[in-house]
Every structure is written in structure tokens, then in C-alpha cells.
């Protein structure tokens, strides 16, 4: 049975409907239209997302935010080409996504993904040579260039166990960037970290984006992290994931955490995520 959409207008929400750019817009990099995703368990057919729309722009830090089970990680897998939609489409630079490709690179949660027996330079070179896209001198020059961009030139011959967590993240992103992807996909990369390390990694990521200006599609269930990392935030409902709102966080940062604007956006997102529970509690209170 179809699931009814719960989208509604929110004061302060981005004016255009998520996923529906204004006429003549040519800067959309990724376009997701009417995306319904399902997967099977031994007992059920699960609808992960229902008719989700959004667009990611060049150099965007686009965050998908929602509670556990809302389909945000499943959505990221679909953008990566690892599962096909039941309904709707995903287009990157106008081309429909049907399978994984080097134009989309996933940066995994564990930065220990780096090969410990290879140096920073060798780690960055490895996927370039395996893919066959870059060889010899071209691969070496490209690897050195991205290592310089992430400010690790002095550490090119260092092994991963000698690097901090933030430096390992920079190597992982450098390795992805060396493949010249159109978009980096990050699925709750800091979720398992303690609060202090997580904040440091967020700072590292934002500093790196400020230097390189890559396009980022980032999934999280943390309201604070979404506001800190994102220039725009897509808020999804609980299962199945439907678009509640797309919000502009481009003026907020680590430096504005104590401002009324940061608090107001946090409260608005909290209301969007938990309005059903709040409403249920109020109704129960009214009947008591």
C-alpha cells in the first residue's frame, strides 16, 4: 500500500522544493528524483525510502540526516550504484546511475582501511594503478599533487601507524580524490569515535573542504554534526524515509555554535524528526 508523503512547508526552509531546481539551473551535479528503495529480509520486503527528491550542487556539502532505519545509508548505497531503485532515478551529470563507478568514491568509516605496509604515497597510488586509469609518471604526479592539496607532502613516505586520525582521514580522501571522482560519499564516518576525537575529525574535514572544495554527500544521525558539516541538510522522516525538509546551514559553523541561529536550526530539525512522538505524547496527555 502506498505510503503517504509527510512533506510540509517549514518557515526558513529552502524555498524551492527539494530536488526541483529552478528553470535554467545548470549547476546540479547529482539529481535524485522520486526515489523509492526496497530490500528483502528473510521475513519481509522493507521499503527503505519513499519518493525522495533532492539535488546536490558542485562543491556542495550535502548532508542526509535522519533517525536509524530511515534509509539514509541505503540511499547512499544507491547513489554509489550498489542497489537499483524500485521507482525513480539517480543521475550524475545527467547520466543515470546503474552500477558503481569511479565517478563516485566511498570514504569508509574506518580510516584504518589504509594498508599498513604501504606509505602515504603508496596508499594513494594503489587504487590508481589497480584501476588502470593512471599509470607510470602520470599516476605519480597526480598522487603527489593530491597529497600536497591535503597538506601531507612532508608525510608522503610515512606509514599509517605513524599518523593521527585526522591525517589518516586526509590520506583516505586524497586516495579518493586521486581517482578524480565527481562526488565523495561518506556514511557516518565519525559515529564510532568519542566526542573529542569526533569534533577534531569534523574540523579536519571542514578544513580540507575549504582547501580543496570537493563535492560531499554525507550521512549522519547527529543533528549537531549535520549543521556543522553541511551547507545544506536533507531531513528524512522515520521509516520509510521521506523528505521532511531541505534546510540551509551554509552560514553556520563551529564558530557559530553558541549563537541563537544555530540553536534555532537545531530545534527546528529536532521538531521535524520527532514531531510524531511529540504529538503522540501530547495526545496521551490530553486524554489523561
24 pLDDT band, cuts 50/70/90, is: very low
Return d(Cα 27, Cα 223) in angstroms, integer: 27
| Nearby residues of 63 by Cβ (< 8 Å), 6 or more positions away | 218, 219, 220, 225, 226, 229, 230, 232, 233, 234, 249
Domains of the chain in sequence order: 28-103+182-282 (3.40.50.300), 115-180 (no CATH)
Q: Rounded to an integer, what distance in angstroms lies between the CA atom of residue 158 and that of residue 135?
A: 22
CA dihedral 52, 58, 60, 63 (to 10 degrees): 20
Instruction: Give the confidence band of 23 by pLDDT, cuts at 50, 70, 90.
Output: very low
Among 85, 4, 20, 102, residue whose Cα is nearest residue 55? 20
Neighbours of 46 (CB within 10 A): 15
Given a contact cutoff of 8 angstroms between Cβ atoms, the answer to whether 250 and 83 are in contact is no
- Which of 38-42, 48-52, 132-136 is predicted with the least confidence, judged by mean pLDDT? 132-136
With 50 as the cut, is the pLDDT of residue 179 above it? yes
Q: Which residue has the higher pLDDT, 288 or 153?
A: 153
Percent of the chain with pLDDT over 70: 84
User: What's the CA gap between 205 and 194, in Å, rounded?
Assistant: 16
pLDDT for 7: 34
CA 285 – CA 279 distance, rounded (Å): 10
What's the whole-model pTM score?
0.81
Strand partners, 285: none
Amino acid at each position: 500500500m502506498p505510503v503517504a508523503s509527510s512533506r510540509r512547508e517549514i518557515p526558513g526552509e529552502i524555498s524551492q522544493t527539494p530536488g526541483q531546481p529552478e528553470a535554467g539551473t545548470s549547476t546540479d551535479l547529482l539529481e535524485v528524483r522520486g526515489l523509492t528503495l526496497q530490500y528483502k529480509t528473510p521475513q519481509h520486503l522493507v521499503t527503505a525510502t519513499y519518493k525522495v527528491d533532492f539535488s546536490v550542487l558542485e562543491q556542495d556539502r550535502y548532508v542526509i540526516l535522519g533517525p536509524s532505519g530511515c534509509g539514509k545509508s541505503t540511499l547512499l548505497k544507491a547513489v554509489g550504484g550498489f542497489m537499483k531503485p524500485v521507482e525513480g532515478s539517480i543521475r550524475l551529470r545527467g547520466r543515470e546511475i546503474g552500477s558503481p563507478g569511479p565517478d563516485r568514491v566511498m570514504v569508509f568509516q574506518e580510516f584504518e582501511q589504509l594498508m599498513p605496509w604501504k606509505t602515504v604515497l603508496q596508499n594513494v597510488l594503489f587504487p590508481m594503478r589497480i584501476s588502470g586509469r593512471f599509470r607510470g609518471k602520470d599516476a605519480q604526479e597526480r598522487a603527489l599533487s593530491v597529497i600536497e592539496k591535503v597538506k601531507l607532502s612532508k608525510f608522503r613516505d610515512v606509514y599509517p601507524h605513524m599518523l593521527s586520525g585526522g591525517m589518516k582521514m586526509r590520506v583516505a580522501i586524497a586516495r579518493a580524490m586521486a581517482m578524480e571522482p565527481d562526488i565523495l560519499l561518506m556514511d557516518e564516518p565519525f559515529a564510532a569515535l568519542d566526542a573529542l576525537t569526533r569534533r577534531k575529525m569534523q574540523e579536519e574535514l571542514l578544513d580540507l573542504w575549504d582547501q580543496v572544495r570537493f563535492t560531499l554527500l554525507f550521512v549522519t544521525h547527529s543533528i549537531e554534526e549535520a549543521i556543522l558539516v553541511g551547507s545544506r541538510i536533507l531531513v528524512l522522516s522515520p521509516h520509510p524515509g521521506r523528505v521532511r525538509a531541505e534546510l540551509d546551514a551554509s552560514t553556520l559553523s563551529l564558530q557559530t555554535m553558541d549563537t541563537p541561529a544555530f540553536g534555532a536550526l537545531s530545534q527546528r530539525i529536532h521538531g521535524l524528526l520527532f514531531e510524531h512522538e511529540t504529538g503522540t505524547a501530547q495526545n496521551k496527555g490530553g486524554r489523561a
